[in-house]
């Protein structure tokens, strides 16, 4: 079963694996893509309960460590 965290990891990897710089508009696009993908997978996301940007930040930090 796909989780929100799985979707975040996949989208961040796809969007930013070769990025030299990441701006706020890039993060906004990533958030929208994550929400669309989650909805397509039947995962309901309450943005007031879950910080998508925080999950993206965590995933980016993990990428830097690799």
Q: Which long-range contacts (CB under 8 A, 24 or more apart) does 34-41 make?
A: 34/4, 34/7, 34/8, 37/7, 37/10, 37/11, 38/4, 38/7, 41/2, 41/7
Query: For residue 66, is pLDDT > 70?
Result: no
Q: Cα Rg for the chain, rounded, in angstroms?
A: 11
Reported pTM: 0.89
In this predicted structure, what is the pLDDT of residue 46?
A: 87
In this predicted structure, what is the pLDDT of residue 64?
A: 80
Question: pLDDT tens digits, residue range 3-56?
Answer: 999 999 999 999 999 999 999 999 999 999 999 999 999 999 988 888 999 999
Query: For residue 57, is pLDDT > 70?
Result: yes
């Amino acid at each position: 079963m796909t989780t929100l965290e799985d979707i975040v990891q996949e989208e961040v990897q796809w969007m930013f694996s070769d990025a030299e710089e990441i701006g706020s508009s890039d993060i906004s696009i990533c958030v929208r893509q994550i929400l669309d993908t989650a909805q397509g997978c039947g995962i309901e996301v309450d943005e007031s309960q879950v910080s998508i940007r925080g999950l993206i930040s965590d995933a980016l930090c993990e990428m830097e460590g690799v």
